[in-house]
Structure 1
């Protein structure tokens, strides 16, 4: 799960927070409720997750309950990988 978190961390920094201090983005930083992700950037993140990890993120999973932190995202990906 640590590798998943590293991948997602790098993607979020590169795509949505260019130039920010990487240490400021932790596994529990609120992404949606903290204003880092809006509806468009959340969709971009979902597309990345589906392509990178070969999973399908259902519409009901593309919200605060599953995508508000790197930790939540990694847990969702792990669950989907184990279910496949």
Structure 2
């Protein structure tokens, strides 16, 4: 794959800037980015001990930057390889 690893690293850095991630203690986390034509959702969980805390991946002052970055990656992969993610 000719897609730069920096793009994936940037998404990770953006996730670590999300309000819920910054404001809560956690041991691990997971997010699902569901991007469709004209809409996006990004539910997730922060895990601490045996608890799962619902979380969203919104960055204060830049609420759409993470969604836009993921859409850019999806579009780049589609251009590079000729098929879209489903």
Whether these two folds match at TM > 0.5 is no
Which is helix-richer, 1 or 2? 1
Relative to the length of structure 2, the TM-score reads: 0.37
Relative to the length of structure 1, the TM-score reads: 0.38
